[in-house]
Structure 1
Amino acid sequence: MSDIKVRAKLEGNETVVKCLMNHPMETGLRKDSKTNELVPAHFIQEVICKWKDQVVLTAAWSGGVSKNPYLSFKFIGGAVGDPVEVSWKDNKGESQTETSQIA
C-alpha cells in the first residue's frame, strides 16, 4: 500500500534528508462523491527519523497533512555511508520503515 522514498546527502557538516511518503492521509471529513458518505480517517500520526539508531527527528502529525507528504530536514553530523532510517505509524496501526545511506 505505502512506501517511503528516502535520500540523505552530506553537505558540509550537515546531513540533508528528504523523504516522500506514499499515504492517502484522509482526514475523515471528506465525503465520497459517489456514495456521499464520509471517507474514514486514515493518516500518519508519528514520524521518527534515526541516524545510526539515534533519533534525530520526531514529528506528530494529524489529518491536516496532505496526501503523499514530503518531509525535508537537516541535522548536524553524519558521514557518507551512514544509515538514515525513516519510520511512520498511522491511526489504523499500520507502519512503514525505510533505510537509506548518506551519499
Structure 2
Amino acid sequence: MTVINHVNVAKQANVYFEGKVISRTIHFNDGSQQTLGVVLPGEYIFDTAVAEIMNVTSGSFEVLLPNKSEWQTVPAGQLFTLDAKVTFKIRTHEISEYCCEYK
C-alpha cells in the first residue's frame, strides 16, 4: 500500500452519480490538491476544469478520451492525461480506484 504523508484530507466526500463515484480531496502543504476516488461498475461522463493526470490504483477503467472514437483500457498501475475544459467518459466492470492530480 502506498501512503501519502503530510497532507490534510477533506472530511466531506465528493459524491457523484448517486453515490457510484466518490472521492476525497487531499491538500498538500504547497497548496496543490489531488483526489482519491472509488468508482462502482458503470459508465460515467466527466468534465475537467484544469488539466489532470488520472492514475488508476486498483481495478481497471475503459476511457473514451476527447476527440477519440475508440475506448482505451487503462489497468491499475497506469495513467492517462486530460487537458483542461474537456469532456471524457469512464466505464468499469469492477470496483476501481484512482488518484487524480490536478495541473
User: Same-fold call, TM > 0.5?
Assistant: no
TM norm structure 2? 0.35
Bigger Rg, structure 1 or 2: 1
Structure with the largest fraction of strand:
2
Q: Taking structure 1 as the reference length, what is the TM-score of the superposition?
A: 0.35
